[in-house]
Amino acid sequence: MRIRTIIVEDEPLARERLRNLLGGDPEVEVVAECGDGRSAVAAVQEHRPDLLFLDIQLPERNGFEVLADLGEFRPPAIIFVTAYDRFAVKAFEVHAIDYLMKPFDIDRFEQALARAKAQLQPREVATSAAAPTASHEQRIEELINSLRPAEPAGPKRISFKSSGKLIFLKTDEIDCVEAADNYIDIRAAGQVHRVRETLGSFETKLPNTNFLRISRSAVVNLDRIKELEPCPYGEYKVILQDGTQLTLTRSYRDALPKLKGLAK
């Protein structure tokens, strides 16, 4: 019997990558793909999958809200996929099988899929397996250990094409990155470089020790923040050293403690 699987991911390239990785496994059948939380709830209720790959930051509803809206049925195996480690422990608190941090490699993906397969085995088969699956508490401990920050590396250089030129920048030169339709604007050293790339894709190239997502359309260099100003409805104005103003939206208020920690 094949493992009926649904992919929920709002970025088309990330969704395609998951589909391709799963397509090489004869035990897996992808029965639906969704790009937002509302359609994810409907697809899970319709198909009642065995396995759910679930992004957390989604339009309409986030991944945790999707699970809350499913009612009595919840897929027996859930793997969260996201670029934000701040959701990790909460993911296991809702009994996820695993948590894939973008960008993940094939080995890490296969490890998560193997864990899901073990969870989905009949009880008598699972109990006789040679390698027992980790307990819920063990998975949380493993996750916390994996998220401990590594020793900071030196300035990292990245390259990208802008206005027909190949631009090289050190990441610590970047002030912020903003989404602009199908492009992103990279602000650095008083210049703005427009690049045809998604914000989510470019964010994976930036060191998470220095850069923080503060809205669906903006990533900021923590070292460039000058002021943080409260706004109505739980939002905050983030003012950079060059005067650029960004907004920390309510959906990303989990970033607030890290921003306020800059003053310590």
> Does any domain span residue 152?
no
Q: What is the mean pLDDT of each run of 10 residues along the chain (264 residues)?
A: 92 91 92 94 94 89 86 86 66 70 86 90 47 46 48 66 87 93 91 91 82 91 89 87 91 72 50
Q: Domain containing 141 — which CATH number? A: 3.40.50.2300
> How many domains in the chain?
2
CATH number of the domain that residue 201 is part of:
2.40.50.1020
Position 247 scores a pLDDT of 92
CB atoms within 10 A of CB 147: 14
pLDDT of residue 182: 85
- Across the chain, mean pLDDT equals 81
Same domain, 127 and 204: no
In contact, 232 and 131? CB cutoff 8 Å: no
Last residue of a domain, one of 85, 112, 146: 146
What pLDDT does 233 receive? 79
Give the model confidence (pLDDT) of 182-192 as tens digits: 899 999 988 99
Domain stops at, among 95, 118, 146: 146
Task: Indicate whether 255 belongs to any domain.
Answer: yes
Residues 248, 162 share a domain:
yes
Query: For the sheet containing 211-215, what is the strand order?
Result: 191-195, 183-188, 174-180, 218-221, 211-215
Q: What share of the chain is helix, strand, coil (3-state, %, to 5)?
A: 35, 30, 30
- Pairing type for strands 211-215 and 218-221 reads antiparallel
Are the beta carbons of 18 and 33 closer than 8 angstroms?
A: no
Domain co-membership, 15 together with 43? yes
229 phi and psi angles, rounded to 5 deg? -120, 125
Q: Domain range for residue 106?
A: 3-146
Whether 109 and 186 share a structural domain: no
Same-domain check for residues 140 and 14: yes
DSSP helix/strand/coil, 8: strand
* pLDDT of 71: 79
The model's pTM: 0.50
